[in-house]
Structure 1
Amino acid sequence: MTPIRMIAAALAALAVCAPTGAAARAALDVALVMDASGSMRRTDPMTLRIPAARMFVDLLDGADRVAVVSFSTSARVLGGLRSLDAAGTAAVEEAVGKVTSSGAYTNLYKAVSAAADLLERGGGVEGGERRRRIIVLMSDGKMDVGDPKRDEALVSKLKDGLVEELKRRSIRVYTIAFTEESDMALLEEVARKTGGLFNVAPSDDVFHLVFGSIFESLKEPDMLPIEENTFFVDKAVDELTVVASKHSPETHITLVAPGGVEFTAATRDPSTRWSVARTFEMITIPDPADGTWKILFSTENNKAYIITRLGIETSLDRLNVMLGEGVPVNAWLEDAGGVVTVPEILDELDFDLHVSLPDGSTEKAELADDGGEGDVEKGDGVFSTVYRPALTGPYKFRLVAVSRTFEREKTFSFNVYEPEPAGAEAHGVAHSGGEHGAAAPDRDAPAGGHDGGHDGEGGGHGEEAPQSDEEPGADSDGGVWSGAVVKFLLINLLAAGAVLGWLNRRRLGGVREKWASLAARLAGLVGKKKE
């Protein structure tokens, strides 16, 4: 190990390294844009999108800001950007509750345009640091303003004009296509080209799962792995938030703490925040007891988010990947911002990658810190592998670290697309590094095995534009001047011919011969210039 790496390792062991993960990420400005068209009365009759959106707001940090926009024929701002302190959170959740299902039409262009303008007016800078600006757009329909020709024009205006403006403003759009009646192709394209993530909610009872997935993508929270509704809390966990899915609205979720003590919404400790919705319950426990916890009367789709000094960090940051590309996976443990390199901890650590594929199947791969494929240096605390997707569609990574004394999990979602045909327009931006995920510590370059380059803001994965064989600057001033001389000579030659014809008609023989001689001389000059 080089002296620089030895110093870095020592600093990491002392936990005095500069934060490289969640603590260093910029706060969010989020515009929640929710469909209020009349069709939502049929597709979401119990308005389950309302508690799901409120759950999303509750999961964000106090430094984040959220605005609420509803749309149908036009867009309506129900609440401007508010910081998520206690008063701000209450105001945002009240605004979410004002979303109706009474609109006549579905104007997606107005919805996105209004949200973008709202975020632009918000400034997006705090303490000299640029906030990440996000639109979360949910719709169950296609562009419909009552005029098919205008619908088509607005779709083109959205794709060809507004999307480019969003990219220029660095505003990313996370879209939720609700039911198969929505314009999935349009919502997917808007998300992909702005560097956001396309999501599908096939039914109203999974809204909270989709909003939870978007939260995980935006904030990359530390989590505890849950197996058979059981999870382990260690002493480094400062706060625990459980989101438990319910079999039915009548289900009452029960938490069993270490020692066998059971809690429900009715019997919870006064310090515990417990909210109940038809499809899920959300429980936040400060300073939870360490040991094994269990969730009763719940489905398998549960999450345990934590606030802790000991968590997983990763360099994963690409939400849109081309089929055939390798995806480098680099992950490490951080303790209070420093990379954990203590051999006694790493030797006991199992680091696995669990992959959910588009066809519903799963795969598992082991991450290694052995200097093998994708790993830069053995024993540096960074565990790596390279994953190569074989199918197009949505993927989810679960990074799980298990030791004798603690367990951690982090998730990451992305979509895989077919490469564009040669000469076609590029697929739009990939999620740029530095905003989402952390750079692998103490490394000069990403791990090997990445078949395609990672594009920054405004980049893409299409074919590179063909380059001209002509050297830049070949059309110099000299070339322009030469063309002007040739044109001048040709014009004078034509003029001479015209005069010659006139003289011939007037039978001015001697003068005609002189003009003929002049014309011949001009023709000779033109010939030399062309040579």
Structure 2
Amino acid sequence: MRKKILKSSYLAVVCLISGLSSSLLFANENPSTEKLPLDTVVIMDSSGSMKQTDPKQLRKPAAKLFISLLDNDDRLSVVSFSSQAWPITYLTKLETDKQLKQALRATDKISHKGMYTNIHSAIKKGIEFLKESDQINREPIIILMSDGQMDVGNKEKSAQLREQIFEDLLPQLIEHNIKIYSIAFTEASDQELLQEIADATDGRYALAASDDVLHKVFSKIFEQTKQPDMLPLNENKFVVDASINEITIIANKVSDASQIYLKPPMGEKINSTFKSEKIKWFVSTSFDMITIKKPDEGEWKILYSDDDNRAYIVTDIKLRTQFEFNTESYQPELIIKSWFTQNEENESNEELLKNMEVVLEIEHPDDTIETFPVEKANELGEFITRFKPEADGIYGAAIIAKSRTFQRQQIFSFKNTMPTEPEPVKEKTIEAVKKPPAENLESKNPAEEATIEEPKKEDDTMQILIYFGIFNVVLIFIGLNGFLIYRHFKGKKPAPTNSSEK
């Protein structure tokens, strides 16, 4: 399986292994199946304004990095657009090196000489290529990059086409399950349009207004769509075990003048001048890509790179991660389950699991990071934890598993929407009246206790009135019957006899 790379101020380590890996499966997917192959249309703005908004043409190496990370079962098309959209390459599998090189060269043909920004034509062309993908068990996505507003040179016509995106094209995107990952290059872009079509199709929107953001955006798109197997990095260090047959490192540069070095477990540090049949080293202005066959076991370190890096791997032993929202909880609660598999069968090797430390790392929508320990594996070899998001927005999450000689990581993201209405009190009150658990009563605040106590007082009053009524009825019944008995015996008393009768 061909290993690929990612563009970011990012380090990606892509490993071809016969050992350990990770794969994220969403709640609506079968945990035993792999992610569907991608059908991707990369649509790049070639209007004249891109010369100012992307003077270094960073969108090209960013797109190349994403393309390089795709598998040989994925298909790709590159489309350029200004006044109209036209394909540079059609939807083609990346099965051979020739096909991959052709796809990479296609990005170099993107210019910045166009007159207008016809986003309508761009999306329409993407739908044309992807409308049948969902029917043949492939996942269709569009990566749309633009720096401007919908513009065809006529204000009225431009506004009309913008409306048609929502009225005509968006329903088609939803019908064919096509996700849009949109990227705005400036704040002057039509951010509202780009975000709305991304949200409506369950994609993602990002503003890449600076040079150090664009590659990170493509990294996240890759992680969200391919859910790759990964190694965790700590201070640009990563651990290679015996199961790794090949590793590809993408080290992002702090500046154009930076030179990346690698420090292997044994020996001196090396850079792009190092010659070896085992190592291929590609240098660019924003990142280096290093592929190493049969890397030495132990701890490696990337030198003179930034600290926002990734390591992607392929292996036989995989860290599976599945998450779903708890449907029984009114407030959002995420249930996350992780486990290892080997050759698609559950792996509960005690030697592998007994010294394994697992944590959940959450990146909140405000970019703060929080880490939570995960309990030891259960008897089935599963690590289960829960997380309750407390704000709207997109969360990043990572399951990180570490032992002394073995490390794996799985990254995923999810979008959370908090309830707009308060949790219904009525249902709680009724339940409390029926059977008030002691722990619930102890944790209630005064307002809730008043709500619960009020119906109890009403019930007590009603019971007293009922008992009082019954008591009075009984008294009346006894009195009436006593009176009737008295009358009865009085009426039967014998009359006195006179002397003549005697």
Shorter-chain TM-score category?
Answer: 0.7 to 0.9
SS in structure 2 at match of 1:41: helix
Q: Which residue of 1 aligns with 2:400?
A: 400
**Percent identity of equivalent pairs:** 37
Q: Which residue of 1 aligns with 2:273?
A: 266
- The alpha carbon displacement at 1:419 in A equals 5.9
Provide the rounded CA distance (Å) in 2 between the counterparts of 1:153 and 1:331: 49
Q: Does 1:65 align with 2:68?
A: no
Provide the rounded CA distance (Å) in 1 between the counterparts of 2:246 and 2:179: 30
1:206 to 190, 210, 213: 213
Work out whether residues 251 and 288 of structure 2, in 8 Å CA contact, stay in contact via their aligned partners in 1.
Answer: yes
1:293 to 300, 323, 326: 300
Q: Which residue of 2 aligns with 1:53?
A: 63
Provide the rounded CA distance (Å) in 1 between the counterparts of 2:296 and 2:30: 29
Q: Which residue of 2 aligns with 1:106?
A: 117
Per-residue CA deviation, residues 322-344 of structure 1 (Å, 9 max, x unaligned), is x9522222222222222222333
Q: Give unmatched runs, 5+ long, in structure 2.
A: 1-28, 423-502
2:46 to 27, 31, 36: 36
SS in structure 2 at match of 1:303: coil
Provide the rounded CA distance (Å) in 2 between the counterparts of 1:416 and 1:185: 20
Work out whether residues 256 and 262 of structure 1, in 8 Å CA contact, stay in contact via their aligned partners in 2.
Answer: yes
2:137 alignment partner AA: R
Alignment of 1:214-233 (within 5 A): 214-233=221-240
CA RMSD of the aligned region, Å?
A: 2.5
Q: Which residue of 1 aligns with 2:86?
A: 76
1:156 alignment partner AA: E
- Could you tell which deviates more after superposition, 387-396 or 302-311? 387-396
Provide the rounded CA distance (Å) in 2 between the counterparts of 1:192 and 1:272: 42
Work out whether residues 66 and 218 of structure 2, in 8 Å CA contact, stay in contact via their aligned partners in 1.
Answer: yes
2:50 alignment partner AA: M
Q: Which residue of 2 aligns with 1:414?
A: 414
Alignment of 1:98-177 (within 5 A): 98-120=109-131, 124=133, 130-177=137-184
Work out whether residues 315 and 329 of structure 1, in 8 Å CA contact, stay in contact via their aligned partners in 2.
Answer: yes
Give the number of aligned pairs.
389
Alignment CA distance shift 1:347-1:216 (3 Å): same
- The alpha carbon displacement at 1:149 in A equals 2.9
Q: Considering Cα pairs closer than 8 Å and 6+ residues apart, tell me whether 1 or 2 has the greater RCO.
A: 2
Provide the rounded CA distance (Å) in 2 between the counterparts of 1:155 and 1:231: 47
- The alpha carbon displacement at 1:92 in A equals 0.6
Alignment CA distance shift 1:170-1:59 (3 Å): same
Q: Which residue of 2 aligns with 1:387?
A: 387
- The alpha carbon displacement at 1:249 in A equals 0.9
Alignment CA distance shift 1:20-1:268 (3 Å): farther
Provide the rounded CA distance (Å) in 1 between the counterparts of 2:149 and 2:335: 36
Provide the rounded CA distance (Å) in 1 between the counterparts of 2:294 and 2:161: 51
SS in structure 1 at match of 2:173: helix
- The alpha carbon displacement at 1:118 in A equals 1.8
Provide the rounded CA distance (Å) in 1 between the counterparts of 2:190 and 2:32: 34
Alignment CA distance shift 1:101-1:418 (3 Å): farther
Per-residue CA deviation, residues 143-198 of structure 1 (Å, 9 max, x unaligned), is 22233333332222112321111111121212222232222222222112112222
Q: Give the TM-score taking structure 2 as reference length.
A: 0.72
- Could you tell which deviates more after superposition, 350-359 or 412-421? 412-421
Q: Which residue of 1 aligns with 2:440?
A: none
Runs (4+) off by over 3 Å: 19-23, 414-422
SS in structure 2 at match of 1:344: helix
Provide the rounded CA distance (Å) in 2 between the counterparts of 1:100 and 1:47: 9
Alignment of 1:460-475 (within 5 A): none
Work out whether residues 105 and 144 of structure 1, in 8 Å CA contact, stay in contact via their aligned partners in 2.
Answer: yes
Work out whether residues 255 and 262 of structure 1, in 8 Å CA contact, stay in contact via their aligned partners in 2.
Answer: yes
Q: Which residue of 2 aligns with 1:7?
A: none
- The alpha carbon displacement at 1:207 in A equals 1.9
2:207 alignment partner AA: V
Q: Does 1:351 align with 2:363?
A: no
Alignment CA distance shift 1:289-1:21 (3 Å): farther
